[in-house]
Chain A
Amino acid sequence: MTGEPLLAVRDLKVSFRTEDGLVKAVDGVSFTLSPGETLGIVGESGSGKSVTMMSVMRLIVDPNARFEGEVFYKGRDLMKLSREDMREVRGSELAMIFQDPMTSLNPVYRVGWQIAEQIRAHERISRRAAHARAIELLTAVGIPHPAERVDDYPHQFSGGMRQRVMIAMALSCSPDLLIADEPTTALDVTIQAQILNLIKKLKEDFGSAVVLITHDMGVVADIADRVAVMYAGRMVEQGSKQDLFYDPQHPYTWGLLGSIARLDRPKPRRLTAIPGLPPSLLRLPEGCAFGDRCPQRFDACAQVPELTAKAGSDHLDACHLAPGDKRERRERTIHPELTEEPA
């Protein structure tokens, strides 16, 4: 990595006080992001992906939430900014789009108005100029007849079109970082591909860095430069896409990779799913959080593993297994069909 990172998250911890006790939703997450880079964050439901990135944006308003750690953006710790300074950063430098486009737009305002509202929150610009910008943005995200559609209400758009509107809005102030939280999960498969391609293209045009949250390894393979894998509020592996797909280090990552079908390999007889469920965030097990589900578990797993670079300078993982031990075990997990007797 060269130069100053755009975003550096250090030891972020987020917990929620609940009736049942303290939920440690994010438990010491660190990562960095360079300008223009695309980071994919993957992990099962509930692993803390959304909470991590919402905390970066300081969008969690729950009074029961507790935050610790540092979030450096262009050298400033966002966690320490005043509300007003944070507001100025939000929407202009950091923008976020969400999972469900059906509910993410305000139903009572025209889409053009909603885009213009964001522009006018950050720039001194006339209503008319902001409206014209909204039309340009709708054109850029591929909405047909943007000059007319700009005055429609959200309910007059389909889900895919609404997500395009959300993207147009997010990009309206040319942010340096776009956070997309499962932007395609709620959409049809064909629309999913269109939206991902759109994000890829706009990322080039606008030069923004992107954090893409997903639980779909296929999406990550398509669009990410680097990948971070989360499990039970912690990061278990981090590295370039090549490292992660061709030399994955953590058994949890192996499980995730085993669950995608690949066309360049012999057709598997079955896709491996990871057996069991993630642990409760109220009572994390002693030691490695993945231990209870891990087929490779051994003595050392009673200690919490550190996220360190074992397999290369920019490839971090949190597993006690020695890199040399992993290769053969890994093949068996990811490609069981290769090690089994052909039927």
Chain B
Amino acid sequence: MLTFIVRRGLWTVLVMFAITVLVFVIFFKTPGIDPVRQIAGRNPSPLVLAEIRHQFGLDRPFPVQYALMMKKLFITRDLVSYSNQGTLVIPEIFAAAPATLSLVFGAAIIWVVVAIAMGVGAAVLRGTVLDPLLMILALIGISMPVFWLGQVANLITQSRFHDTFLFSWVPPLGYTSLTQNPVRWFEGLVIPWIVLSVLYIGLYARVLRANLIEVQNEDFIRTARAKGLTERRVLLRHTLRNSMITFVSLFGLDFGVLVGGGALLTEVVFGIHGVGFLTYQSLTNLDLPVIMATVVYGAFFIVLANTLVDITYAWLDPRVRLA
């Protein structure tokens, strides 16, 4: 297991290196596009252009350019956004990260718990009306776009019914940090958590149910019953445990994507200034340094999550460890 983790860790480093090279090539070496003008933002002065050219070493060979860029991203962290009055990009991302992490972690807890409950419930209740009912509910969850659901939730909790006892506790849109006011942090995130998790609950519940039903027909489940285990133990220790393998790999990827900026729509709808929000802003301003930094940040999270998934996967399924 340990050698597996080490091997997988080295592989991750390699993949991350490849990603930075790829991102660098796309942003700086796309033919016909002058990266200096892209970085400088709208209507730059010749002075600024010259400074950028020198700073990024764009008059020097490719490896030097790459090294300078990486130095700016990871070591000195002084990559500057020109279209945004010289804000430092990296600290900005780090400042935005807690909001995104809060949003995604909370939603993830909800969606994992509810999806497992629904999936197991449907599989256990197979043959009754509750199974198709739960699955239709899941399908509805999958088919509701998150921005629409978010707007509806806002409409209900912020204006229509805000004054009723049901939703009077909902604070105005925006993010309050956990350290500043934990209660407010929680209250402000409840609705976004639910909205973000709905899609994943539906998806995961359906996937889990299908997997459970598949595993239920395996020979080793019959063996587990023949051993005289309780139905509960057969379900949790044998059926569910073997069904979680797909669930976990899906989860890692989705989680990585969301932390990496994929919760953009939810963040925008609820005015949460997280990484997704930042990406959204930089895309609308064509702010190249920020786009680049968020892309690298997002890619890193996805690769990292992927690594964690593989390690969990190996822990869940011993057959993977040898591969």
Contact with B along A95-127 (1 / 0, CB 8 A): 110101001111110000000011001100000
Stretch of A24-32, A84-92, A308-316 lying at the B interface: A84-92
Nearest residue (CB) in B for A64 is: B127
Q: With a CB–CB cut-off of 8 A, which chain A residues contact B225? A: 59, 61, 90
Q: How many A-B residue pairs have CB under 8 A?
A: 72
How far, in whole Å, are A83 and B232 apart by their CA atoms in the complex?
12
How far, in whole Å, are A91 and B237 apart by their CA atoms in the complex?
17
How far, in whole Å, are A304 and B125 apart by their CA atoms in the complex?
41
Contact with B along A63-79 (1 / 0, CB 8 A): 10000000000000000
Contact with A along B194-237 (1 / 0, CB 8 A): 00000000000000000000000011101111111111010001
A153 touching B219 by the CB < 8 A rule? no
B220 touching A105 by the CB < 8 A rule? yes
Q: Is the CB of A57 closer than 8 A to any CB of chain B?
A: yes
Q: Which one of A57, A61, A95, A121 contacts B229 once the chains associate, using CB atoms below 8 Å?
A: A121
Q: Is the CB of A166 closer than 8 A to any CB of chain B?
A: yes
B229 touching A87 by the CB < 8 A rule? yes
A91 touching B238 by the CB < 8 A rule? no
Q: Which one of A98, A103, A106, A169 contacts B238 once the chains associate, using CB atoms below 8 Å?
A: A106
B229 touching A108 by the CB < 8 A rule? no
Q: Which one of A61, A91, A98, A104 contacts B228 once the chains associate, using CB atoms below 8 Å?
A: A91
Determine the interface band of chain A, counting residues with CB < 8 A from chain B: 20 to 34
How many residues on the B side are at the interface (Cβ–Cβ under 8 A)? 23
Contact with B along A137-163 (1 / 0, CB 8 A): 000000000000000010100000000
- In the assembled complex, the CB of A328 is this many whole angstroms from the nearest CB of chain B, namely 46
Q: Is the CB of B318 closer than 8 A to any CB of chain A?
A: yes
- In the assembled complex, the CB of B218 is this many whole angstroms from the nearest CB of chain A, namely 7
Q: With a CB–CB cut-off of 8 A, which chain A residues contact B242? A: 106-108
- In the assembled complex, the CB of A78 is this many whole angstroms from the nearest CB of chain B, namely 13
Given contacts A108-B316, A153-B318, A155-B319, contact A91 B227 (CB under 8 A): yes
A104 touching B227 by the CB < 8 A rule? no
Nearest residue (CB) in B for A105 is: B220
Q: Which one of B127, B219, B229, B318 contacts A104 once the chains associate, using CB atoms below 8 Å?
A: B219
Q: Is the CB of B241 closer than 8 A to any CB of chain A?
A: yes
Q: Which one of B220, B228, B237 contacts A90 once the chains associate, using CB atoms below 8 Å?
A: B228
Binding site for A on B (CB under 8 A): 127, 218-220, 222-231, 233, 237-238, 241-242, 316-319
- A-B contact list, 30 entries, CB within 8 Å: A61-B225, A87-B229, A87-B230, A89-B228, A90-B225, A90-B226, A90-B227, A90-B228, A91-B227, A91-B228, A92-B228, A96-B226, A98-B222, A104-B222, A106-B224, A106-B238, A106-B242, A107-B220, A107-B317, A107-B319, A108-B241, A108-B316, A118-B227, A118-B229, A121-B227, A122-B228, A155-B318, A155-B319, A166-B223, A169-B227
Other A-B pairs beyond A106-B223, A122-B228, 12, CB < 8 Å: A83-B231, A88-B228, A90-B225, A91-B227, A91-B228, A103-B220, A104-B219, A106-B238, A117-B237, A153-B319, A155-B319, A169-B223
